[in-house]
Homo-oligomer: A and B are copies of this chain.
Amino acid sequence: MSHVDGVPRRVTIGDVARAAGVSPSTASRALTGQGYAAASVKLRVLAAADRLGYVPDDIARSLKRRTSRLVGVVISDLRNQFYADLAAGIEQVLGEAGYQMVLVNDDGDRDRELQGARTLLAMRVPGAIVTPLSPEAGALLTAQGVRVVEVDRQMAQTQCDAVLVDSEHGARAATTHLLELGHRRIAFLIDELEWTTGVGRLAGYKAALRSAKVRFDQKLVARVGFGSGDAATALSTLLDAQPDVTAVFAANNLMASGVWQELQRRRLRVPRDISLVAFDDLPWMTMVQPAVSAVSQPVVAMGARAAELLLARLSGEFTGPPKTDWLTPTFERRGSTRKVSG
């Protein structure tokens, strides 16, 4: 009666063993390839398994082996193409290695991140890849023996592996480009300064200014709430207060999108009236007119690299001390930047 839909009962290794006329242990050895099993027997077991449509129970197997092939992935916003690409890179590498990805969205909320970590703990995942919001979640996992790789951002106080893009380098390149075009009043839009990304990008911006002996002006930095759409409003306020701004640096793709909309709304012509550079390159940036000059990150590769690192840890193939992989972004000059006018 619990099998209303005609699904009687999953076939177990015991069924296979019986059908093949051997013991469960032998069936297990034949099926997994671990341990001895006569060739003829192995064949019989395999045939029986196939005939009965046997699918090994991962749950039972995991319980026994005390480890599963599930990797937790905690990201901030799947709807942001950046994170989706990251997840795609991770999934591909994981999948090829026979691992599955449990995806958790934390929406930039630390409580949800922690909640996600706890869930992963309960699931007994051997490893996790996270874009961290706080050190806590990663620490919690690490403390319980879960191997953690931080990606995009670095937050762990206790050392753990990480795969990052050199934000400072990228931001510096973009800013330098603007400076070389003669811009001096460059607005900088960002939605967070708690993470290594925000910090690094601002640092790169400042470093470029310093090299060019241009004074850093705090009033040119606009800070908006995370994930909020008010990059447009923030830019608007800033432009009103600082009418001498000739260029804008949008520190991520969300900021870039908001900035683009605001520039459109104001009927400012890019790059004639104002120049624009973005950090993080998205497809739309080459579809608009003019195309947006941007710091392009190897996002998918970053996800893939993180997964590779984690797998190497899990397999014991890599056992060294915590290591941080740095990926280098490239600045793509496009049509949204030009020499400062007048």
Give the B-binding residues of A (Cβ under 8 A): 3, 5, 7, 10, 55-60, 62-63, 68, 70, 77-79, 81, 84-85, 87-88, 91-92, 95, 100-105, 118-119, 121-124, 143-145, 257, 260-261, 264, 283-284, 287-289, 300
Q: Which of B5, B59, B105 contacts A68 (CB 8 A)?
A: B59
Q: Other than A7-B145, A55-B118, A78-B87, give 12 A-B pairs with Cβ distance below 8 A.
A: A57-B63, A57-B122, A58-B123, A70-B102, A79-B85, A81-B84, A101-B102, A101-B103, A103-B103, A264-B287, A284-B288, A289-B289
A-B contact pairs, 29 of them (CB 8 A): A3-B145, A5-B145, A7-B143, A7-B145, A10-B124, A10-B144, A55-B121, A55-B122, A55-B144, A56-B122, A57-B63, A59-B59, A59-B63, A59-B68, A70-B102, A78-B87, A78-B88, A79-B81, A79-B85, A79-B88, A92-B105, A95-B105, A100-B102, A257-B287, A264-B287, A284-B284, A284-B288, A288-B288, A288-B289
Q: Are A58 and B122 in contact (CB-based, < 8 A)?
A: yes
Q: Counting chain B CB atoms within 10 Å of each CB, which of A55, A56, A124 scores highest?
A: A55
Q: Are B78 and A81 in contact (CB under 8 A)?
A: no
Find the B residue at minimum CB distance from A86.
B78
Q: Which residue of B lies closest to A286 (CB)?
A: B261
